[in-house]
Structure 1
Amino acid sequence: MNNTSTLPRTSTKPLAAAEKVYPIALDLREETEKSRKLASPIVEKLAEQGLFRMALPKFLGGIEDNPVETLNVYELLSSAEASVAWITWNNHLACTFGRYLNKEDMKKVYGDPMHVYANSTRPEGFAKKVAGGYMVSGRWTLVSGCELADWFVLRCLVTSDENPATLGPGAVLKLVFLPKKQVKIIDTWSVGGLRGTGSHDIEVEETFVPENLAVGFEDDVPLKTPYSRLPIGCINASGNGAMSLGLLRGALDELTQMCLERVTPGKNPDLRDRPAVQAALAKGNTILKSHRAELHRAVDALWKASVNGESFSDELLADIWSASCEAASASRAMITELFAVAGTSSLYTKFRMERIHRDIHGVLQHGIVQPHWMNQAGMAYAGLKPTAAMFGI
């Protein structure tokens, strides 16, 4: 890495751990791309460093500290290989859902420090109410890291004589925890961007899940900590924003390196001598630093409110939703500009710019940073009550 866009150095464990993963993620980019899943040494290093478990309580290896630390991790890993950051981010969400379990069930699901997790919040499965629990079946799409996962957390529509059989008013949804032996992977992930995430479809057929391993967002959280109080939706959005900034950081690093290496004799100006390149580097660095600062500020404010036991105002949450979506969209626009000014070199796979350009468009396809979240944030700023269910959950 060069110094054009380096994160502020801290002594926090998660960032130090990510720094150990960074060179491996960079070295094994092609293996990750070719196999459509993270290379095994990357997975092992992430697990060994505890980066799959950041959302868990401390007794299970979590950080229970300012979530800005997780944003630093996502940004650094994404600057090396977006798929590595994406799987780390997805594990954070899967571990976040563990807050609804009691302590013994948390140990059952999250007790092995080397385990990997996958999840889907899409309610594409069904959980039929039966004695002692649920009979689960269905097919879920876009389940990132499913080939790596030891446990899955999958959202289902609960069906019974009392509940509606379709999504809509009155529908009851549950997240169910399933070990990998109960899940079938269907190879569907033939894509360009984020190819290394291995986001295949999965299928579950008539599998019993006990009542204690089926939870809902409206359930009580047994373990009361500042981290477990953090709203799931906006924290997840902030991670997407941080990954997007990481890709921008990687693009700036790559273009800077290209400028240093591609110095040639002759009359034509070198890449670094072109005014468009110089302007883009200056603009990109300012966008990176300014959006990072606002994203971190907003998340830090939420963390302080949680530590102090304060309620979360809609405007406080809106700051995170807005900063996350804007960080993501600004990064995509700036990466597109960097891709353009780098000229035909951007087309070649030997340069990281080509994959970064693909990956940023993949990252922004996620529902957590779609434009309607800006509308929800704007409602809060306008004195209206945001209507999206996940705005404050």
Structure 2
Amino acid sequence: MSVMEAPTALAAATGEDLMTQLFSEIRERREEFGRLRHVPKEFISRLKKLGVYRAATPACFGGSGLAPSAFLQLIEKISEADGSVGWVASFGSASVYLAALPKETQAKLYADSPDLVFAGGLFPIQPATQVEGGWSVNGTWKFASGCKGADMLGVGIGAAVPGQQGSKPRTAVLPPSQVEIVDNWDVMGLTGTGSHDLRVNQQFVADEWTFIRGGVPTIDEPLYRYPTIAYAAQVLGVVNLGIARAAIDEINTMSGGRVAITGAPKLADRSYVRIEVAKAEARLRSARGFLYDTTDDVWQTILAGDPVTTEQVALLRLTAVEVARVGNEITQSMFGLAGTTAIYSSHPLQRYLRDAAVVKQHAFLGEGIYDGAGAVALGVPPMPGFI
């Protein structure tokens, strides 16, 4: 799917009128979501109707088969309305992880509906004891974004049995009734994501309800051949493209407003403002082009039946960190252009500034990703876990 074709496919997949109505409601309620510190379940059900939570569900279980670029554009547009809702919606991609579960287990997961909300607190990996038929799970995990609206929850476990200390971490999948949500999400930005801690107290999880994170999928569909960890980073990084667009649009709205209290010209009459807005527009469009061109290139490789190369995976990871960085920098720049008007806590640019900064802090989007991508480009081994 080309970048030009993606918007048409996106509108067809979700319904243009439904999208417009929902985005308007998100803008009206984003203050409420921030006060609640999570997106409530009744609104999550609205995102389900938009198709967010069936985008990565296997087609054999009723999923929509949405191409990665189309899903990324959907998250970008939601994030333009509110970064927190965009962040929560981005985990509609999490079913790519669940594809590593046994097919029989997935059939049970999607038996009632393909619109499954999965959230997880995967870190820090907690040791679990292997018992007959499964695992005894106990511990506390951080950053479970969207956990209060989830249908199923996942936690990261590692083997605590002789000879398996070096094994790859796996995820244990549990119903919310077996997990305590520790209500402690008190942060500067993305306040509505509800990224609380999860606590599990000696729960048994059968083997068939665990999977290796990023493991080989048991479903043979194109989406599950797209690099899993890279996709997980992209759906987060793209949130900052939406926030940056909202920040530029806010300056455009302000530019023809009243003269400053000091008597200075309106924003649109100041050459430095015009220059910075033009530069921001160019940088945003360039970052978007890099993201969607690279994503579509890899997707076409998959559809052709060819393996994704190490170089392609590195580029995908590079797109994620780059759009997060560029989006953050553009938002900072627009905040600066607004002057003292934007220092009031009620101003939209306040929210955009804080949300964009928090996106950039995510471990998947840190400076180390540039090192990994550079290592692959130069033909030397990247840091462990990069590919």
Q: TM-score, normalised by structure 2?
A: 0.92
Alignment of 1:1-393 (within 5 A): 9-12=7-10, 13-14=13-14, 16=16, 18-93=19-94, 95-113=95-113, 115-164=116-165, 170-217=166-213, 219-262=215-258, 268-389=264-385, 391-392=386-387
The structure-2 alpha-carbon separation of the partners of 1:365 and 1:264, relative to structure 1 and needing over 3 Å to count, comes to: closer
Change (3 A) 1:295 1:285: same
22-31 or 41-50, larger mean C-alpha shift: 41-50
Give the secondary-structure state (helix, strand or coil) at the position aligned to 1:175.
strand
- Quick one: distance in 2 between partners of 1:309 and 1:366? 33
3-state SS of paired residue (2:170): strand
Q: What is the deviation of 1:115? A: 4.3
Tell me the SS of whatever aligns to 1:342.
helix
Task: In structure 2, list runs of 5 or more residues that go unmatched.
Answer: none
Structure 1 residues 7 and 81: CA distance shift in structure 2, 3 A = farther
- Residues 323, 337 of structure 1: CA spacing in aligned structure 2 closer, same or farther, 3 A cutoff? same
**Partner-residue secondary structure (3-state), 1:100:** coil
How far did residue 264 of structure 1 move?
7.7
Q: 1:367 to 1:7 in 2, by over 3 A?
A: farther
For each residue in 1:26-58, what CA deviation from the matched residue of structure 2 results, as whole angstroms up to 9, or x when unmatched? 111111011111145532210122212311112
Deviates more, 1:266-275 or 1:239-248: 266-275
Asked if the contact 1:14/1:69 (under 8 Å) is kept, the reply is: no
- Separation in 2, partners of 1:110, 1:356: 36
Query: How far, CA to CA, are the matches of 1:241 and 1:7 in structure 2?
Result: 22
CA-to-partner distance for each residue in 1:266-303, whole Å, 9 max, x for gaps? 95311221222212211111111111011000111111
- Residue 147 of structure 2 aligns with an amino acid whose one-letter code is C
Paired residue type of 1:55: A
CA distance in 2, matches of 1:346, 1:60: 47
Give the 3-state SS of the residue equivalent to 1:222 in structure 2: coil
- Cα distance in 1 for partners of 2:5, 2:342 equals 25
Letter in structure 1 aligned against 2:350: E
Secondary structure at the aligned position of 1:46 is classed as helix
Q: Is the contact between residue 15 and residue 73 of structure 1 (CA under 8 Å) also seen in structure 2?
A: no
SS at match of 1:139: strand
CA RMSD of aligned residues (A): 2.2
Pair 1:21–1:189, CA change in 2 (3 A)? same
- State the secondary structure of the residue aligned to 1:121: strand
Note if contact 2:6-2:69 (Cα within 8 Å) is conserved in structure 1. Answer: no
Q: Which residue of 2 aligns with 1:167?
A: none
Q: Which runs of 4+ in 1 moved over 6 A?
A: none
Seen in structure 2, the aligned counterparts of structure 1 residues 15 and 356 have a Cα distance that, compared at 3 Å, is farther
Distance in 2 (alpha carbons) for counterparts of 1:226 and 1:272: 48
Distance, in Å, in 1 between the alignment partners of 2:66 and 2:148 is 30
Q: Is the 8 A contact 2:137 2:200 kept in 1?
A: yes
Residue 120 of structure 1 deviates from its aligned partner by: 2.7
Question: Do the aligned partners of 1:15 and 1:72 also contact (CA within 8 Å) in 2?
Answer: no
Residue 110 of structure 2 aligns with an amino acid whose one-letter code is: Y
For the 8 Å contact 1:7–1:72, the answer to whether it is kept is: no
Deviations 1:336-360 (A, max 9, x none): 1110110111112332111000000
Which SS does the other structure have where 1:28 is aligned?
helix
User: In structure 2, what is the Cα distance between the partners aligned to 1:39 and 1:217?
Assistant: 27
CA distance in 1, matches of 2:121, 2:43: 22
Cα shift at 1:123: 4.0
Partners of 1:7 and 1:332 in 2: CA distance: 27
Task: Tell me the secondary structure at the aligned position of residue 177 of structure 1.
Answer: strand
CA gap 1:264/1:141 in 2 versus in 1, 3 angstroms: closer
Give the direction of change, closer, same or farther, for the CA distance of 1:252–1:8 in structure 2 (3 Å limit): farther
TM-score by length of 1: 0.91
Give the unaligned 5+ runs of structure 1.
1-5, 165-169
Q: Is the 8 Å Cα contact of residues 121 and 155 (structure 1) preserved in structure 2? A: yes
Alpha-carbon deviations, 1:277-336, whole Å to 9, x = none?
212211111111111011000111111111112112121112212222111111111211
Paired residues of 1:123 and 1:173 also in contact (CA < 8 A) = no
Aligned length: 380
SS at match of 1:304: helix
Match of 2:138, SS state, is strand
CA contact (8 A) 1:152 1:178 kept: yes
Deviates more, 1:222-231 or 1:63-72: 63-72
36-45 or 330-339: bigger deviation: 36-45
